[in-house]
Amino acid sequence: MTKPPKPALTSSTEEKIIAAAMEVFIACGYHGARMREIAQKANSNLALLNYYFRSKENLFKTVCSKSIDKLYARLFVSFTTHATLEESIRSLVGVYMDTLLETEGLPLFMLNVLAQHPGLLAEILQEKNFVQGLFPHFFQQVETEIAAGRIRNIQPRELLLNCLALCVFPFIAAPMFKAIFRVQHAEFRELMAQRKTQVAEFILGAICIPKAPSPLCYAPYPLLIPAFPHMRPKDKP
């Protein structure tokens, strides 16, 4: 006699379990995390977790997979639908920063995965066709702009890494940043929201070739003047 299929978890219950698991894995690491603590944080019970996920390893993989699915769905629009490189960069930075603001623990969780299960993330990314599904359109846009002489000669993957690093590093370094500059959490979130524009402007200004008329070119001064008024360009006599 065959066993009846498991009843599906409600979406709200699953979301609570995933969020609680991510929090515990970040705080305790994979080896220090306990299923009982995850169940308590999710206001669930241990029997339910064991019934649906069977083991801590399966739950860990599920959290990884769900996190990547959420990011992939949002980045897909940024990387595949915009007509110009400028639009793609602005969308990429905005979407990535919004995702990090919604799930601030995601960068630390991913660092935890890389440190303790270095092959797991690569395995999940390959299964989901992450690289091939997202990057070709963006890389082609970069190469087109280089060939047209509108941006500097830069490897597309280097440009991508620069964009992502400028977005994610403040979240990784948030505890240090808050302590050094005595920044409260609400102020930190406000600063990160402002960076959506600032990072995009910085990247576009860095890759632009000023001699070539291009909508990608931006004068850096408006970003610098508020903090460094002495750098305002002097008017010619």
CATH number, domain with residue 178: 1.10.357.10
Q: How many CA atoms does the CB half-sphere of 25 hold within 13 Å?
A: 28
Going from the C-alpha of 43 to that of each of 20, 23, 52, 53, 56, the distances in angstroms are 9, 14, 15, 16, 17
Per residue of the chain (237 residues), give pLDDT as tens.
Answer: 555 556 557 878 888 999 999 889 888 888 889 999 999 999 998 999 999 999 998 999 899 888 888 888 888 888 888 889 999 999 999 999 999 999 888 888 888 888 878 788 888 888 878 777 888 999 999 999 999 999 999 999 999 999 999 999 999 999 999 999 999 999 999 999 999 999 999 999 999 988 645 555 544 434 433 433 333 444 444
Spatial neighbors of 72 by CB under 8 A, at least 6 apart, are: 128, 130, 133, 134
Residues 33 and 114 in one domain: no
Neighbours of 165 (CB within 10 A): 11
Q: How far apart are CA 223 and CA 203, in angstroms?
A: 12
Range of the domain at 70: 64-210
Say if residue 194 is in the same domain as residue 120: yes
- Judgement on whether residues 44 and 105 belong to the same structural domain of the protein: no
Residues 83 and 187 grouped into a single domain: yes
Are residues 86 and 37 both part of a single domain?
no
Cα dist from 130 to 43, 120, 197, whole Å: 33, 14, 26
Strands (E), the chain: none
Give residue 144's Cα distance to chain centre: 26
Examine residue 3 and state whether it is found in any structural domain, yes or no: no
Q: Is pTM, for the whole model, over 0.85?
A: no
CATH code for the domain of 31: 1.10.10.60
Q: Evaluate whether residue 226 is within a structural domain.
A: no
Do 78 and 45 share a structural domain? no
